[in-house]
Structure 1
């Protein structure tokens, strides 16, 4: 390399970061600090700040001292209101919901405790408690050191849903609402608003093979429930030969058994909006599915609930109702009752009973085709939610179809099916 050739900087030659890389952490920290400062400004504060700047410039350009004085007054007002943000709001916050699971229409009662752990008093502040899409506000007076205050609140429930309660936000602001500083405390708590359900007597609606099950009408060459004797046929297991009858009749006789089964439920709840007349009808269908599932769980049966969008576990009544509390009507693109029946049929092929719950806007042909897609060999029952109809029972293909107009009509309708 000649003497006139440019030489590389030592730092660059060694691969050290330049000034831009070194300044990056400072820029990030400065940006975060500015965001925190600007976050306390309310829209009214921005308007007053812009007005003060405009009046100041206009007063200097036009030489009108009145405009300059007005700008100074606005700036002083902003400074005085900003003083209300000074002070600590380091509350220890605890949020306690007496019940995290309620039924639609019930009130959830909770308590919020604020404690001042510092050695200085905390000035009056405002506490905001978000509840779903809304929020509750509490005015908290000055709190002395090591003192605490408890605020009791109630949450009315008008629809089935899952509400996020919290996180609690402590708000410090000025009387004019120009500035607001928010500190979030505690973690949110989920409040499950379960659908209404109705209780009814357990029924033997379906069975699955099991040693402790109940006998069915299907005959089997190998099980534990003895049914009858028949003549030996090639291929029969010699362990099942009944030697006493064979010696008495002179013909080889083998035992024949009845299959034993335990109830294994699959409930297919259609959430397609096009299949329901209105929201009330959809809520009725959800309540029907919940009532059937809870009854089956209490009868120690294996339960699964399927919708177009998700599978709801049914190992306990609590988890089943929690899952039903969160479901929403699905878009038309996710398919209707036909697609749902196909999902249930392929995911649970050994189900002993399949229940299909849908709305009144499904015609008989579609309902027949949907029932045909349910698990083969399972007892099939379709329940149609129709808020304008009276209870009825009809046969569609191989399935019993029950129409229910109110949730209280479900027990009587099921008794008609099983009678």
Structure 2
């Protein structure tokens, strides 16, 4: 069964220092690097320099070359499915599996938001099987992501054992990261610091038992109540 999720009205990840430097350097280029994608009929406003003479002559109508940007921005979404030790700290009425259920629902909502953008999605999730999904070159990939999330179960061992190395192996090719966490501890804080040290844009979302930030959680971490997610009340992250 697909995770039940509410579509996000807004989802933003801040630019890291590495991205800001890359954007600054890009301003010095005459044009963003583009690769030839194909031809289409001429439309009002198209640059005449992009007219493809041979295709235009063959078809008898003006045809222009179409381009697409190389190196589209890649956003990694790491989903924490660890249930160990979380349930004891939650009030009665929130099961041990509820934070993981909420994390999967948020992951589905984030994937839905990214699927309508020009970003490449890299999804990392485990429970019990490790899944790594990259959307590059795929059209309409949301259903494939939902299929993965539907098969995920709460993990009794820490999924970061498998997911953290996968993320860090690809960190040089990633422009932003969204961490969706079911708990906050020294290991997760260390991972967030490592990502930040790479100069990568980072958004950390922590599922919490009630409104407000638990003690020791940095102010930049977005704390979202589990019940609010499961009730469909979260539309901005």
Q: How far is the alpha carbon of 1:262 from its aligned partner? A: 4.5
- Pair 303,198 (structure 1): closer, same or farther in 2 beyond 3 Å: same
Larger CA Rg, structure 1 vs 2: 1
Q: Distance in 1 between matches of 2:105 and 2:131?
A: 17
The question of whether the paired residues in 1 share the 8 Å contact of 2:3 and 2:146 is answered with yes
- Pair 373,392 (structure 1): closer, same or farther in 2 beyond 3 Å: same
Q: Distance in 2 between matches of 1:393 and 1:331?
A: 23
Q: How far is the alpha carbon of 1:268 from its aligned partner? A: 0.5
Residue 29 of structure 2 corresponds to which residue in structure 1?
A: 223
Q: Does 1:410 align with 2:234?
A: yes
Residue 191 of structure 2 corresponds to which residue in structure 1?
A: 370
The question of whether the paired residues in 2 share the 8 Å contact of 1:205 and 1:353 is answered with yes
**Looking at both structures, which has the greater relative contact order when contacts are Cα pairs under 8 Å and sequence separation is at least 6?**
2
Q: Does 1:347 align with 2:170?
A: yes
Residue 40 of structure 2 corresponds to which residue in structure 1?
A: none
Q: CA RMSD in A?
A: 3.4
TM-score by length of 1: 0.37
The question of whether the paired residues in 1 share the 8 Å contact of 2:195 and 2:202 is answered with yes
Q: Name stretches of at least 5 consecutive residues in structure 2 with no aligned partner.
A: 33-69, 88-95
Corresponding residue to 1:322 among 137, 142, 147: 147
Q: Distance in 2 between matches of 1:396 and 1:345?
A: 23
- Pair 207,368 (structure 1): closer, same or farther in 2 beyond 3 Å: closer
> 1:319 is paired with a residue of what secondary structure?
helix
Residue 195 of structure 1 corresponds to which residue in structure 2?
A: 3
Structure 1 stretches of at least 4 aligned residues deviating more than 4 Å after TM superposition: 215-218, 391-397
Q: Distance in 2 between matches of 1:336 and 1:265?
A: 19
Q: Distance in 2 between matches of 1:392 and 1:411?
A: 19
Q: Distance in 2 between matches of 1:303 and 1:285?
A: 17
The question of whether the paired residues in 2 share the 8 Å contact of 1:357 and 1:383 is answered with yes
Aligned length: 176
> 2:202 is paired with a residue of what secondary structure?
strand
The question of whether the paired residues in 2 share the 8 Å contact of 1:313 and 1:323 is answered with no
Q: How far is the alpha carbon of 1:303 from its aligned partner? A: 0.4
The question of whether the paired residues in 2 share the 8 Å contact of 1:264 and 1:301 is answered with yes
TM-score by length of 2: 0.61
Report matched runs for 1:236-385 at 5 Å: 262-274=72-84, 276-277=86-87, 278-308=96-126, 309-314=130-135, 315=138, 316-332=141-157, 335-337=158-160, 340-360=163-183, 362-363=184-185, 365-374=186-195, 376-385=198-207
